[in-house]
A and B are shown apart, each in its own frame.
Chain A
Amino acid sequence: MLRGLAKSFDGKVAVGGVDLDVPAGSFYGLLGPNGAGKTTTLSMAVGLLRPDHGQAWVLGHDVWRDPIQAKRLFGVLPDGVRLFDRLSGAELLAYHGLLRGMDPAVVDQRARELLDVLALADAGNTLVVDYSAGMKKKIGLACALLHAPRLLVLDEPFEAVDPVAAALIRDILQRYVAGGGTVIFSSHVMAVVERLCTHVAILADGVIKRVGTLAEVTGERSLEDVFVEVVGGRTATGEELAWL
């Protein structure tokens, strides 16, 4: 679905030609060290960042040529992007629902359900600015799910959420995929990726290093070992920081 996506900032290459086929019904994990270009890639795939080269399709619709149709099909949890956080949780969900052109009655019903399931109903009328980091992730996820999209693009959905919420989110996503949806998400949590994903891709320095089904990529070893091998880098300190 992604073809030769590339982007550089001020001459510095952030993503240098990424090809990625995300099969419908797959649970796709995108891995990579900090600064690898995951956020940049996903932003280009959903129409937030104009690529220098390449194309992105969602179920046959070009995100950059035919944005209205393509955007209808996916829900996105972007990273490093604020929500309209001076609304309360319920208001925010209502806003997103109407923005997606949904029927108000459906919006009401789904918003209530999502707030209850994600344990955000207690927050009541607290504005989203005043939510904790994990709560913000959860409400962001709820916004992405609200219009029941065919594809979910999630940037670090497990960051900052507590173990109970993480288990809940895993469950939601698994049910979603079982129901025919497709998920692509980036994460640094190997255990989650190993447990959930059918496919993984490892991105480093803006290019794909490994890609395939989970079994193809890991083989006999654990995902973490493969990741460290592909990415390189040190995992232990030597003489430095002795003063700490």
Chain B
Amino acid sequence: MALTGQATQATEVAAAPRAVSPRHFVRLKLRIMGNSFRGQVWRVVLFSFGILFGLIYATAGFFAAAAAGLAGNTDAAFLVAAAGGGVVALSWTLLPLLFFGVDETIDPSRFALLPLPRRTLVVGLLTAALIGVPAAATLIATAGLVLSAGALGGAGAAVVQALGVLLGLVFCVAVSRAVTSAFANLLRSRRTRDLAAVLLAVSAALIGPLQIAINRASTNTDWRRFLPLSEVIGWTPFGAPYTAGFEAAAGHWLAALAKLALVVAAIAVLLWWWSRTIETAMVGTASLGPAARQGTPGAPVDQLFPRILRWARRDRFGAILAREVRYWWRDARRRSNLITFAVAALFVSAMVNFGEAIWGTEAGEPARDVAASPLTFTLSMIFVGTLAAVTLANQFGFDGSAYANDIIAGVPGRTQIAARAAAFTVYVLPLVVLIAVIIGVLVGEPTWIPMALGTLVGTFGCGLAANSMLSVIGAYALPETSNPFALNTGAGMARGLLSILSMVIGVVLAVPLLLGALFAGDVWLWVALPVGLAYGAGAAWLGSVIVGDVLDRRMPELLLTITPRR
């Protein structure tokens, strides 16, 4: 394979070593991508879908970015550049953590044994990371800004903006790598519990100020009120590369230069940070699990069952349940999924409900503290419920080849599915109750909490059914690396599509609950809880029966799709 070719190239000719340049990394990546498509039709199909979607988004983005400048509206163009560019850069930072993972076609730890200087390695990896559909789509979309800046400020501004767009792309890729890699290190470390607590606390703490800020903003609905904000964004590395050209167009050449310099500095810092985390990942932490626990020599069976599962039956169902509960915490990949779900759910449901405050209030009217409607509230709860279940969309992929042990033992499909769903529920249920209470209190409608719970549990149950099915028929292998966000080539697309598909199915299944919220009136506030509980439990049970039977017929095939090819 190309990897070994690289190895000999670097080691064999010790007398006159040829320098390894980023070109080698690019070739390596292209070669591995090419090989991974061999004989895998569905991968090619997914990849083509990815390109198609990328092109659609890129074109839409391009015209949106170019429009304001071509129309000659300076303020609007600046706003689009700052906000749009900022959103793009922020997406690069956050989305890999939440939905898409990072494409680890080239796994940094594979280079641990090669005598490569750190600089060469990082620059090479970064260059290789620039190849891909998301990067290309980002480049095309943001290129619209060049047109916009050029229309406003002539060729000079266009050149500055072109530079900015290129630097912006490098920044986006670098930030996504650095953040996932640092997060991965944190999640691997033994302080994850603290990390989770901190993240939750920070996001909860952010909700307060956010609420106030939005209330302020909502007293004034003119879009120009966002201009000062976009000025600020323009001076962060997220917005700077995209607004530099507009500073030039306005004649502030010094500011333009300063912004470009700011981005370059930010990239340098990110790359330094990234190389540090890669290095610790490559050497130190060989152990993938948490530290060996002390003591508790009790009977083996009692050791298997965590304290919260003391009540569980000591049989097949109980065994899988206990193992899964342990795994959701001990496996860094699963743990990271759990934590990101918790943070995202809290954040998104808060945003949706407070977002209502902006768009729902008339200009000039004294803003109520918060204006949330039962409908948006229900919608946000449906979102959280389905998002929770999406974590299970590739539940067998987490196991990899270890799933063979369950096949050999002849575990019936229904037991397998039901026990896994139950184990996940052990974690999600408390979280979901917490979210319902927090949001209900923050919105100022504590009486909505039972309804929120009913909706959450109902949608979560539907989501369990839908995602169990997807996890059996749409599973894919995860690479055996220490980075919990790593994905194989093309799997990012698969994962994204799978998440979206499962959310759509989950929402469709939850439609009865939405109808209840819409038409049942005030009664719904009270019947929602029992109805939701029954609906969710019924859906989950029915799902485990149907999916279990499908699983019984597909076990070896499933094993083959989730076994990573080394």
Give the interface of A toward B (CB within 8 A).
10, 46-50, 67-68, 71-72, 76, 78, 80-88, 90-91, 93-101, 104, 107-108, 111-112, 124-127, 129-130, 143
Which of B322, B331, B408, B412 sits near A86, CB closer than 8 Å?
B331
Residues of chain B having any CB pair with chain A under 8 Å: 39, 287-290, 292-297, 299-301, 303-304, 314-316, 318-320, 322-323, 326-327, 330-331, 399-402, 404-412, 555-557, 559-560
The reply to whether A99 and B319 contact each other, CB–CB distance below 8 Å, is yes
Asked whether, in the complex, the Cβ of A48 is within 8 Å of the Cβ of B556, the reply is yes
**Which A residue's beta carbon lies closest to that of B331?**
A86
Tell whether, in the assembled complex, residue A47 and residue B407 are in contact, meaning their CB atoms are under 8 Å apart. Answer: yes
- The smallest beta-carbon distance between A174 and chain B, in angstroms, is 24
Return the contact of B409 from the options A10, A100, A129 (Cβ within 8 A): A100
CB pair B559 A108 closer than 8 Å = no
> Does B300 contact A107, Cβ atoms closer than 8 Å?
yes
Contacts A50-B557, A108-B299; A124 near B292 (Cβ below 8 A): yes
| Pair A83/B402 contact, Cβ less than 8 Å | yes
Which residue of A is nearest B554, CB measured? A50
Contact of B408 among A71, A104, A125 (CB under 8 A): A71
Least distance between A58 CB and chain B CB atoms (Å): 12
A6 to B559, CA, bound (A): 18
Q: Given contacts A90-B300, A125-B292, could you give 7 more A-B pairs where the C-beta distance is less than 8 Å?
A: A49-B556, A91-B303, A91-B304, A98-B318, A124-B292, A127-B287, A130-B287
Q: Most A CB atoms within 10 A — which of B296, B319, B330, B412? A: B319
> What are 26 inter-chain pairs, A to B, with CB distance below 8 A?
A47-B410, A48-B404, A67-B410, A68-B410, A71-B409, A78-B404, A78-B408, A81-B401, A84-B399, A85-B289, A85-B402, A87-B323, A88-B292, A91-B304, A95-B319, A96-B409, A98-B314, A98-B316, A101-B316, A108-B299, A108-B300, A111-B301, A125-B294, A127-B289, A130-B287, A130-B292
In contact, A82 and B316 (Cβ under 8 angstroms)? no
In the complex, A81→B410 CA distance in Å?
A: 16
B557 in contact with A86 (CB, 8 Å)? no
Minimum CB–CB distance for A117 against chain B, Å: 14
* A130 with B289: CB separation less than 8 A: yes
Q: Which residues of B contact A95 (CB under 8 A)?
A: 304, 319, 322-323
When distances are taken between beta carbons in the complex, the residues of chain A under 8 Å from B296 are 125
B402, A84: Cβ atoms closer than 8 Å: yes
- Residue in B closest to A114 when the chains form the complex, CB atoms: B300
User: Quick one: given A86-B326, A130-B289, are A81 and B404 in contact (CB under 8 Å)?
Assistant: yes
A83 → chain B closest CB, angstroms: 6
Known A10-B39, A49-B560, A129-B287; judge A94-B300 contact (CB<8 A).
yes
Contact B410 A126 (CB under 8 A): no
A127 near B292: Cβ-Cβ < 8 Å: yes
A104→B313 CA distance, assembly (Å): 10
5 tightest A-B CB contacts, nearest first: A71-B410, A98-B319, A90-B300, A94-B300, A94-B304
CA distance A68 to B39 in the complex (A): 33
Contact of B303 among A10, A76, A81, A94 (CB under 8 A): A94
List the B side residues contacting A80 at CB < 8 Å: 401
Bound form: Cα–Cα A126–B288 in Å: 12
- Given known contacts A72-B410, A78-B408, A98-B319, A88 and B331 CB-to-CB distance under 8 angstroms: no
Given contacts A47-B407, A71-B409, A91-B304, are A101 and B289 in contact (CB under 8 A)? no
Tell me the bound Cα distance from A85 to B403 in angstroms.
11
Q: By the criterion CB–CB under 8 Å, are B301 and A99 in contact?
A: no
| Residues of chain A with a CB closer than 8 A to B316's CB | 98-99, 101
Interface pair A48/B400, CB less than 8 Å apart: no
Q: Judge whether A86 and B410 touch: CB under 8 Å.
A: no
C-alpha gap A82/B404 in the complex (Å): 8
Give A101 to B412 CA distance when docked, in angstroms. 12
Residues in A whose Cβ lies below 8 Å from that of B297: 124
Choose among A76, A86, A98, A112 the residue that contacts B330 (Cβ–Cβ < 8 A): A86
Q: Are A81 and B330 in contact (CB under 8 A)?
A: no
CB nearest neighbor in A for B39: A10
User: Which residues of A are found within 8 Å of B412, using beta-carbon distances?
Assistant: 68
Q: With CB as the reference atom, state the residue of chain B lying closest to A90.
A: B300
Q: Given A94-B300, A94-B304, A99-B316, decide whether A86 and B289 contact each other with a Cβ distance below 8 A.
A: yes
Q: Which of A46, A72, A97 has the most CB of B within 10 A?
A: A97
Given contacts A83-B402, A85-B402, A97-B301, contact A91 B326 (CB under 8 A): yes
| A residues in contact with B318, CB < 8 Å | 98
Q: Report whether A82 and B402 are in contact in the complex, using a CB–CB cutoff of 8 Å.
A: yes
| Given contacts A91-B300, A104-B301, A84 and B405 within 8 Å (CB-CB) | yes
Q: How far is the CA of A78 from the CA of B406 in the complex (A)?
A: 12
Tell me, rounded to whole Å, the shortest Cβ–Cβ distance linking A244 to chain B: 12
Q: A86-B327, A100-B409 are in contact. Are A108 and B292 (CB under 8 A)?
A: no
Residues of A within 8 A of B402 (CB): 81-85
A99 to B301, CA, bound (A): 12
Chain B residues with Cβ below 8 Å from A47 are 407-408, 410, 555-556
Residues of the B chain whose Cβ atoms lie less than 8 Å from the Cβ of A50: 556-557
Query: Do A94 and B319 contact each other (CB < 8 Å), given the known contacts A129-B287, A129-B288?
Result: yes
Complexed CA–CA distance, A111 and B299 (Å): 9
Residues of B within 8 A of A48 (CB): 404, 407-408, 556, 559
Which of chain B's residues have a CB closer than 8 A to the CB of A104?
301, 314
User: Which chain B residues lie closer than 8 Å to A49 at the CB level?
Assistant: 556, 559-560
Task: Report which of A81, A94, A99 forms a contact with B320, defined as CB distance below 8 A.
Answer: A99
Query: Which residue from A67, A96, A125 sits with its C-beta under 8 Å from B293?
Result: A125
What CA separation (Å) do A83 and B289 show in the bound complex? 14
| Chain A residues within an 8 Å CB radius of B408 | 46-48, 71, 76, 78
Nearest-Cβ distance from residue B330 to partner chain A, whole angstroms? 4
Closest to A103 in B: B314
Q: Which residue of A lies closest to B329 (CB)?
A: A86
- Chain B residues with Cβ under 8 A from A126's Cβ? 292
CB distance from B405 to the nearest CB of A (A): 6
Residue of B nearest to A69 (CB): B410
Q: Given A94-B301, A130-B289, check contact A99 B406 (CB 8 Å).
A: yes
**Are B301 and A98 neighbours in the complex by a CB distance under 8 Å?**
yes
A residues in contact with B292, CB < 8 Å: 88, 124-127, 130
Q: A83-B405, A84-B323, A99-B316 are contacts. A108–B301 as well, Cβ < 8 Å?
A: yes
B290, B294, B300 interface centre (most CB from chain A within 10 Å)? B300
Are B303 and A90 in contact, CB atoms less than 8 angstroms apart? yes
Least CB distance, B418 to chain A, in whole angstroms:
15
Distance in angstroms between the alpha carbons of A97 and B402 in the assembled complex: 16
